[in-house]
Structure formats: C-alpha cells, structure tokens
C-alpha cells in the first residue's frame, strides 16, 4: 500500500491560527482502490521552549516549500502500513532534532495522515493501527471549565486552567456528560460573583470571568459536587498553572492578584490549593526548568497526578531526566510537540518506565480532526485532555463515545490509583 501522491495546503485552527494540512493518496495494487486521507497540525499558544520548531525560519510558506522540496519526493512510494518507516523518513530528510528544516507542523500532519492511511489500507480503526489488536482502554476525559492565563489573553484568573475529571464513571458517555454538565452549570455560579460577565469563552471553550483563582476553584468544587451527586460519579478537580508563563526569571508574577511568589512560596501556594480543594490533578505548577520543585511537590502528593507539560514537551530525554528525579506522576503527551507519532509513542514508553501516567492532550489552537481520540486509546492513556466545549473539542469527545460503542463490552476505563 504505497503512497502515490501527496499535497499540502494552508488551513486554520479553531483559534484562527494558520497551520498546514497534508493529504495522501494511496492505491491498493491488488484491487485498484484509491484511498485519500488527510490531517492537519494543531497549534499551541503556550509552547515550551524545548518543543520542536513549529515552522521553519520563514513561517508557513517556508514550511510548504520545504514539504514540496524535501518531504514529497521522499515519502512517495513508502508503504503506509509501516508507519514507523514514514516517520523515520521525516526525521531523515529534516536531519535536525527539532525539525527546524521542514517544521514540526509539517512533520506531525504528515505523520498523522500516513497513520490514517495505514489504518484505512488495513481496514481497521486508527486506534488499533496505533495500539494493536488489544487496545481497548478508554481514557478519562479531563476538561477546563474556567480559563485564565495566556488562553484568556490575561483577562481571567492568573492560573491558566481550572479543570474537572470524572473519576469513577460507569461508561464513557457518562464521563463526557459529567464534564459537560459542570461546564454548563458553572455559568450560573460565575454570574453570582461577577454579574457583569457576558458569557465569554477562551480559546478552549472555558468561561473567562474576572475572578480570582481561589474563587474559580470554589465555584468548581460546588458545581462538581452537585453534578457528581446527581450522576453518582465522583468528579475530581484540577489546575493547569502554566507556571512558565508566570515566571520572570526570579519570581512567579500573578498580575491580576497583584502577588509575586518565589519558588518556595510557589510550592507552598500550590500545596495549599491541593489541600484546600482536594485537587487530583496539577499540571505545570513550576517553570519548565525547575525539576527539583516538581520532585518536592510530587514526593508529598504521589497519590495525585502531578503532571509535566512544558517540563517534558513529550521529549523522551526530558521525561527520562524527570523520571530519575521522580519529578512527576504524569506526563502530558502532545504529538505535535515532538513531531511524529513514533516519537510520541517513545515518550509514552519512557514515561511508563518510570511509573508516570500518560495524559494525551489537545492544543489551544486545535483542529476539527478526531485523531487525538484514537491516539489516546492507541497509546493506552489514562487521561485525555481535550476541553469540553467547542467543535474541535467535541469532535474528539464524540469520537470517544463512538469508540466505546465500537468496543462494546470489551471497553474498559482506567482503574483510578490516584486520590
């Protein structure tokens, strides 16, 4: 099942960023059937400094030129049923660790499209192509209800995301429904404390009121308890601090709160939030080079998901460094951060070697593609972070529900080993 032809075009993410979409044509030599698959690269607003280069120098037009000159001639003729060969070729033609010649957006869009083609050629779902015949675990959905930080253009709380996750749902539909209900009902509570709020949402569909971080968590705790009680599901709370965006080189600057915190004060602040609101999930509580503070917090709260995103950027070498220091109990996995599905899979394997749970995640500027749901199931992730509201978010969640139906009685949800 060889690649017969390839195209690339400029398209847009849900946030309006320009990105690239790659299209592949594959022909079955035995039947003459032609398959066409395509995929687009998501784009993050909050990017770790160690991520791959999104575009080469010169931007999106340079990326298109690099694809036509370097990628297209080399991938035509490759067998899509051997996805690692396509991903390996992308690394070979670029020749840099960070995809600086062709751009990470070109690399991941090509990698995604090739995997889709491989699955279609074999007549199997993408998750089975990625994870094998026994892939059947559906991840718990993690979604942001109230947003701040960069995703809200500094108009909301200083902490970037206030999240909910059902911890013991009976099925994937109920899991998704629980998050949706919390999101809907949170608006009523927000209006009680910010009567001027007009219902604005951020890049990921989270409400963006002008309230403090502690007020946001109080609202979330109340609404989660109400919804969880009605559905018979325990709903845990979490935050993505996105601390690198608060760090000025010496202190963490909380502009809206008018507070600055040193590393020790930051650790104490996060620990207090965990205790006060019984947080089960804490992402990027410290800046992207502070492995030591991560390790200190993790040592105290090993029963929670203390997760690194900017700290690890889906990079196996950085995950290994963090693993040796016991710096986290979870790792964000964003394939576009590292450039190919093969590299992302290696990151998952490395995380598991050190007892860290993979959390497959969207980007703030995501696309309408449902690929991420299949990646999460294929990688056997415990959690999928993909928002709650917005077409590019619900595309993944609805696909998870479909996969639950497809797997039927064989579908399993993670056994929760954290608080």
* Domain at 361, CATH number: 3.20.20.120
E strands present in 103-251: 140-147, 161-166, 235-240
The answer for residues whose C-beta is within 8 angstroms of residue 318's C-beta and 6 or more apart is 50, 311, 312
215 and 80 in one domain? no
177 and 51 in one domain? no
pLDDT 10s digits, 369-380: 999 999 999 999
97 and 149 in one domain? no
Q: Give dist(CA 358, CA 355) in Å, integer.
A: 10
Show the tokens assigned to 122. 């074999």
Please identify which of the residues 21, 204, 283, 288 carries the catalytic annotation.
204
Confidence of residue 418 (pLDDT cuts 50, 70, 90): low
116 and 163 in one domain? no
Number of domains in the chain: 2
> Does residue 415 lie within any of the structural domains?
no
144 and 107 in one domain? no
Q: Give dist(CA 62, CA 59) in Å, integer.
A: 5
90 and 167 in one domain? no
Supply the pLDDT for residue 416.
Answer: 65
Is the pLDDT at 414 greater than 90, yes or no?
no
End position of a domain, from candidates 123, 149, 179: 123
pLDDT 10s digits, 301-348: 999 999 999 999 999 999 999 999 999 999 999 999 999 999 999 999
Supply the pLDDT for residue 349.
Answer: 98
Task: Go through the chain and tell me how many residues it has.
Answer: 419
Supply the pLDDT for residue 42.
Answer: 97
What is the rounded average pLDDT of the residues 41-68? 92
End position of a domain, from candidates 96, 123, 150: 123
> Does residue 131 lie within any of the structural domains?
no
What is the rounded average pLDDT of the residues 123-133? 97
> Does residue 167 lie within any of the structural domains?
yes
Place of tokens 């978010």: 393
> Does residue 202 lie within any of the structural domains?
yes
241 and 101 in one domain? no
> Does residue 233 lie within any of the structural domains?
yes
> Is 106:30 a contact under the CB 8 Å cutoff?
no
144 and 82 in one domain? no
Instruction: Based on DSSP, count helices (H) and strands (E) in the chain, helices before strands.
Output: 14, 13
Please identify which of the residues 137, 150, 334, 385 carries the catalytic annotation.
334
> Does residue 396 lie within any of the structural domains?
yes
Confidence of residue 150 (pLDDT cuts 50, 70, 90): confident
149 and 95 in one domain? no
149 and 114 in one domain? no
258: alpha, beta or left, given left = phi > 0 and alpha = psi -120 to 50?
A: left
Reply yes or no on whether 221 is catalytic. Answer: no
Is the pLDDT at 28 greater than 90, yes or no?
no
> Does residue 418 lie within any of the structural domains?
no
6 and 36 in one domain? yes
Residue 179 has phi, psi (to 5 degrees) of -65, -40
What is the rounded average pLDDT of the residues 235-250? 97
Burial 242-252 (b: 16+ CB within 10 A, else e): bbbbbbeeeeb
Supply the pLDDT for residue 30.
Answer: 74
Task: For residue 300, give the 3-state DSSP assignment.
Answer: helix
> Does residue 85 lie within any of the structural domains?
yes
State the average pLDDT for the chain: 95
End position of a domain, from candidates 123, 158, 191: 123
Q: Give dist(CA 419, CA 413) in Å, integer.
A: 16
What is the Cβ-side half-sphere exposure of residue 369, based on CA atoms within 13 angstroms? 27
pLDDT 10s digits, 276-305: 999 999 999 999 999 999 999 999 999 999
Q: Give dist(CA 17, CA 14) in Å, integer.
A: 7
Taking the complete model, does pTM exceed 0.95, yes or no?
yes
99 and 157 in one domain? no
Range of the structural domain that residue 191 is part of: 140-410
Show the tokens assigned to 36. 């066409």
Reply yes or no on whether 21 is catalytic. Answer: no
Is the pLDDT at 350 greater than 90, yes or no?
yes
Confidence of residue 419 (pLDDT cuts 50, 70, 90): low
Residue 376 has phi, psi (to 5 degrees) of -60, -45
163: alpha, beta or left, given left = phi > 0 and alpha = psi -120 to 50?
A: beta
Cα–Cα distances (Å) from 49 to 242, 288, 307, 310, in that order, read: 13, 8, 17, 8
CATH code where residue 101 lies = 3.30.390.10
């Amino acid at each position: 099942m060889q690649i017969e032809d390839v195209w690339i075009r400029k398209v847009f993410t849900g946030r309006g960023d320009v990105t690239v979409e790659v299209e592949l044509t594959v022909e079955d030599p035995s039947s003459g059937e032609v398959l066409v698959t395509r995929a687009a690269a998501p784009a993050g607003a909050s990017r770790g400094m160690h991520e791959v280069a999104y575009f080469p120098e010169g931007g999106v037009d340079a990326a298109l030129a690099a694809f036509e000159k370097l990628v297209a001639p080399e991938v035509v003729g490759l067998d899509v049923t051997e996805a690692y060969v396509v991903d390996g070729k992308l690394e070979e033609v670029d020749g840099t660790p960070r995809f600086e010649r062709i751009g990470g957006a070109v690399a991941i869009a090509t990698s995604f499209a090739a995997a889709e083609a491989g699955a279609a050629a074999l007549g199997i779902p993408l998750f089975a192509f990625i994870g094998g015949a026994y892939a059947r675990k559906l991840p718990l959905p993690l979604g942001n209800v109230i947003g701040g930080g960069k995703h809200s253009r500094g108009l909301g709380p200083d902490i970037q995301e206030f999240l909910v996750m059902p911890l013991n749902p009976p099925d994937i539909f109920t899991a998704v429904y629980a998050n949706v209900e919390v999101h809907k009902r949170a608006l009523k509570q927000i209006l009680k404390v910010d009567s001027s709020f007009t219902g604005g949402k951020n890049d990921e569909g989270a409400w963006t009121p002008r309230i403090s971080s502690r007020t946001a968590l109080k609202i979330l705790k109340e609404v989660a308890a109400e919804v969880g009680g009605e559905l018979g599901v325990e709903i845990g709370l979490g935050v993505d601090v996105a601390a690198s965006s608060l760090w000025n080189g010496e202190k963490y600057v909380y502009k809206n709160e008018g507070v600055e915190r040193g590393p020790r004060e930051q650790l104490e602040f996060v620990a207090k939030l965990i205790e006060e609101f019984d947080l089960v999930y804490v992402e990027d509580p410290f800046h992207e080079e502070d492995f030591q503070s991560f390790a200190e917090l993790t040592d105290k709260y090993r029963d929670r998901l203390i997760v690194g995103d900017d700290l690890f950027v889906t990079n196996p070498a950085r995950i290994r460094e963090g693993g040796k220091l016991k710096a986290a109990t979870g790792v964000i996995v964003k394939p576009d951060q590292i450039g190919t599905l093969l590299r992302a899979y290696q990151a998952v394997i490395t995380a598991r070697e050190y007892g860290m749970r993979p959390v497959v995640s969207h980007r703030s500027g995501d696309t309408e593609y449902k690929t991420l749901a299949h990646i999460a199931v294929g990688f056997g992730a415990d959690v999928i972070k993909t928002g709650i509201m917005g077409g590019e978010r619900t595309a993944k969640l609805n696909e998870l529900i479909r996969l639950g139906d497809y797997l039927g009685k064989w579908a399993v949800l993670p056994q929760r080993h954290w608080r």
